[in-house]
């Protein structure tokens, strides 16, 4: 397994743990993403990941439950398809033209997907009252990689305005504020 595959596995497992632990009735709790509830956080990942990755890399995914009927089950199907593709050296190393240039599947997952899942782990936890702590190594990696692209990320519309936090705030608080969430 590649380092990228293992990092994805780890971050996705933490997201899966939170999704599996959502208390009864909490799927409709407001999420930190404006206008979303907890279920929408999972729906976002279940919809955009296949749309962006699966067609581009010809990844087969079995049909599963809808996010409306079973958010955890819907996530498990998409997550399993991504992990199988990352674990397959032929798919993981295959290159395609993407919006960012010519990248391999694993490069694209590492740059876009793993970070998104990390942030949405916090979103699910915050919305549903679960443990909000994130992996500190992944938080550091994300902060270091995104900080130089601050202006471009803001212009893309993927992140809201940075929230002000004290200079001595811990890295997770800095990350959450960087992506426009209220820590």
pLDDT of residue 98: 80
Residue 107 and residue 87 in contact, taking contact as beta carbons nearer than 8 Å: no
Mean pLDDT, all residues of the chain: 92
Domain boundaries, the chain: 3-134, 135-183
The rounded distance, in Å, linking the Cα atoms of 117 and 75 is 11
Condensed to tens digits (0 to 9), the pLDDT of residues 111-165 reads: 889 999 999 999 999 999 999 999 999 999 988 887 777 777 777 777 778 899 9
Q: Which region holds residue 66: left if phi is over 0, alpha if psi is between -120 and 50, else beta?
A: beta
Burial class (CB in 10 A: 0-12, 13-18, 19+), 128: buried
Superfamily of domain 3-134: dinb family like domain (1.20.120.450)
Mean pLDDT calculated for residue range 168-179: 94
Separation of first and last alpha carbons in the chain: 34
């Amino acid at each position: 397994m590649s380092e990228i595959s293992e990092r994805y596995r780890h971050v996705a497992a933490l997201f899966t743990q939170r999704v599996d632990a959502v208390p009864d009735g909490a799927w409709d709790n407001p999420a930190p993403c404006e206008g979303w509830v907890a279920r929408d956080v999972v729906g976002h990942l279940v919809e955009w990941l296949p749309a962006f990755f699966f067609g581009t890399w010809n990844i087969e995914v079995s049909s599963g439950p809808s996010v409306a009927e079973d958010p955890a089950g819907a996530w498990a199907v998409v997550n399993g398809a991504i992990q199988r593709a990352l674990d397959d050296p032929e798919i993981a190393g295959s290159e395609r033209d993407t919006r960012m240039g010519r990248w391999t599947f694993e490069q694209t997952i590492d740059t876009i997907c793993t970070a998104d899942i990390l942030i949405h782990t916090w979103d699910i936890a915050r919305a549903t009252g679960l443990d909000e702590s994130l992996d500190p190594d992944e938080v550091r990696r994300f902060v270091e990689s995104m900080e130089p692209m601050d202006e471009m990320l803001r212009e893309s519309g993927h992140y809201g305005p940075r929230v002000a936090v004290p200079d001595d705030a811990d890295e997770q608080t800095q990350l959450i504020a960087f992506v426009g969430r209220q820590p």
